[in-house]
Every structure is written in structure tokens, then in C-alpha cells.
Amino acid sequence: MTHKICVVTGSRAEYGLLFPLMRQIQSDADLQLQIIATGMHMSPEFGLTYKLIEADGFIIDCKVETLLSSDSPVGVSKSIGLGVASLAECLERIAPSMVVVLGDRFEIFAAAQAAMILQIPLVHLAGGDNALGTYDNVIRHCITKIASLHFVTNEDAYRRVIQLGEYPSRVFCFGATSVENITHMPLLSREALENELKVEFKEVIFLVTFHPLTMGNLTADAQLQALLSALNEFLCERNCSVIFTKSNADNGGRRLNQVLEEYVKVHSDCYLFDSLGQARYLSLMKIASVVIGNSSSGIYEAPYIQTPTVDIGTRQQGRLCPASVIRCEAEKISIQEAILSALKVNFQDVTMIYGDGNVSKKIVQKIKEFIEFPDLTVKKFFDLGRSNDSY
């Protein structure tokens, strides 16, 4: 019997992390890959990145538009509600045996809720992390409580998921799929990137991604201005290029993108892209002098490519980091000092903490072990320090 495994993806970054697992599911004779593209994938404003999925040779079973043009807290809340309703209809129609999601995005939260009510077992990748600057942190833990199987990226995350009451027999620490991309994906040369992106790279290359903050009293606007002020100094004093990728659709993301659009108009060596795609993004990360901003890619991926990261502010605060990640305050001087440190230090011997890249095959093996378990969506709570029933 062939079992249908539905992968839900809502953004360019998370699709890149799911890519090797999707390939593994697709190539398994016992499984049928289903794909739901939603969220930013379906938005012209964010590059209609569902086309990247199709260009990679995948067939999308459902294209679900859920993203409202508003990125206010109310707008995001409405997008979640629309996502639950629309994704529930889609999941009922295609009737998968399991749903696979990764991470902590609000559109993925909607997919998890729909799967829960429909009693479709949920497989969650990258749970248990801890990053304090966004509501993604809360969403991630909520998805953990919905999911039946957990594939975490590091030992700290493994312990946290169990602390949340999940049975150790259903939590597996295989590492990050991002490492698998790096070890298996052919990367483009500097010259090929220049031709594809129509950019002439200077001696120093900064790859910059800056996302909104959605928790606490701090706002990303002032932090982005501090970053741009710091970059101004380097643009004046060094022969450098700055490549920006757009912010995501969290609260205030569109406003940050408008600031970036105005900035690149008056700085000839600065460029802004809606989406680079996984191969070009990793290739650019490889040749970059420093990865700068507050994206998790600077923590998960850049160290494995031996490119230093300057992680700004609180968005990723609490996430486990290799030594090549230099953390700094979201202030001009602090950012400048961190960038200078990153340019000076050799990070080739950094200890890696997110596995060896042998991830997707192990995940698929576990999915196949559990897929015919009865009542997989029925969840018991694992009490630390007490005697617990087995599943």
C-alpha cells in the first residue's frame, strides 16, 4: 500500500530546508509525495515562489492563498484564520496519511491546527528551538504539542521537546536538513552568480536579511536603520557589495521592505531580491565575506559553509549557535564592531552542532515505521520524574 505524505510549505526559506526531505519522499516506492504551497509562496509581493517549487520538478497538489495584504497584528491573525479554513478543505480533499511541516511560521501553525482537527498525524521538523524575539517561538512550541512525531536539530531541542511532555520514543535528533542541502547541492561559481543576478561583486560581499520583531516592546524599524547606518560606513570606506533579501510577511515586514527598496535606489553597490532560490542563496552565502541580519540561516547554514555571521538584536536570541556566529546589539557601533570582527577571524575550524547532513533518509525511515500505528494522533503526556505508560 502506498501512503500519501503531504508536505506543507509557506515560504522560500522553509521550502529550502524541506527540499531534501521532499526528494527523499518522492523517490520512495512506498510513499506518494503531496505538496501544499501557501503563505508567501502565493504572493506576487514576495516573488510567487511556488514557481521555484515547480521549477525543481515537483507537482503542487494544492495552491492555497491565505496571506492578506495587511501585515498588522490583526491582518496576520486573519491570515491564520483563513489558513485554517482553507487548508482544512484542501487536506480533507487530498486525504494524506501524514502531514509534514517545518519550523514556526504562522501559516504552518494554521496547517497544524487543520491537521489536528481532521485527525491527520502531524510530523514536525525543527521543534524545540528557543528564539525570543518573535511569536514564532510560541508557535513552534504549540506545533510541538499538536505533532505526533518530532525531528529536532540538536540535543538542547531534544530535551526541550520532552520537557514539553512529548514521549522520548517519538522524538528523534537527526540534525538539520539545511546541512544536507549544503553537502549535496551543487553551488554556483562567483562568475555564474554575477551573470544570473546581473551583479558585479566587489572585493567584500555582505549578504543581508533582516526580519521584523514580533514579541516585546522593541521594533525592527530603528534596528534596521542602525544596520543601514553601519553599512554606510563600509560602503564609503571599503570596496564592497551588499546583497539584501526581502523581509518575510510577519508584522511590519512590508514596511522594512519599503525602506530597503529606497535604500538600494541611492546606493549603486546595493541590491535587493524578493527571493534568490536555495541554490543561488547558498552559493551567495559561500562567497560572501559576512552574513548579516537576524535570520536563522546565519545560524543553521552559514557556519557549515565557513562564512561568519553577524546576528543582530533579539530575534534569534536563545538559539544555539556555533562559534562563527557573532552576536551584537542592534546599534550602529555594535554592528560595525561585529562586522569588523567577522572580517578578521578565520572560522574554518568551528565545531558544528547541527549534525552531519544525513537527515532525510533517517526521517523517512521513521515515518514508515510509524505510519500504520493505530491512533497516532492520540497523545499522552510524558511527565518528567514520574513513571509513564508506554505508547
User: What was the pLDDT predicted at 251?
Assistant: 65
Q: Is residue 64 part of a domain?
A: yes
pLDDT tens sequence across 39-50: 989 988 878 889
- How far is Cα of residue 136 from the mean position of the Cα atoms in its chain? 11
Number of domains in the chain: 2
Q: Is residue 251 part of a domain?
A: yes
Between 111 and 316, the higher pLDDT residue: 111
Quick one: 224 and 326 in the same domain? yes
Q: Is residue 55 part of a domain?
A: yes
**Backbone region of residue 17 per phi and psi (left: phi > 0; alpha: psi in -120 to 50; beta: other values):** alpha
Average pLDDT over residues 90-105: 96
Q: Is residue 389 part of a domain?
A: no
CA nearest to 289, candidates 333, 242, 231, 227: 242
User: What was the pLDDT predicted at 338?
Assistant: 95
Quick one: 164 and 210 in the same domain? no
Q: What percent of the chain has pLDDT over 70?
A: 97
Quick one: 336 and 269 in the same domain? yes
Quick one: 242 and 275 in the same domain? yes
pLDDT tens sequence across 149-182: 999 999 999 999 999 999 999 999 999 888 888 8
Domain that includes residue 364, residue range: 3-174+359-370
Quick one: 147 and 226 in the same domain? no
Quick one: 199 and 335 in the same domain? yes
Q: pTM score, two decimals?
A: 0.82
Q: Is residue 128 part of a domain?
A: yes
Quick one: 269 and 199 in the same domain? yes
User: What was the pLDDT predicted at 366?
Assistant: 97
Quick one: 168 and 226 in the same domain? no
Q: Is residue 295 part of a domain?
A: yes
Quick one: 119 and 192 in the same domain? no
- CATH number (domain holding residue 230): 3.40.50.2000
Q: Is residue 179 part of a domain?
A: no
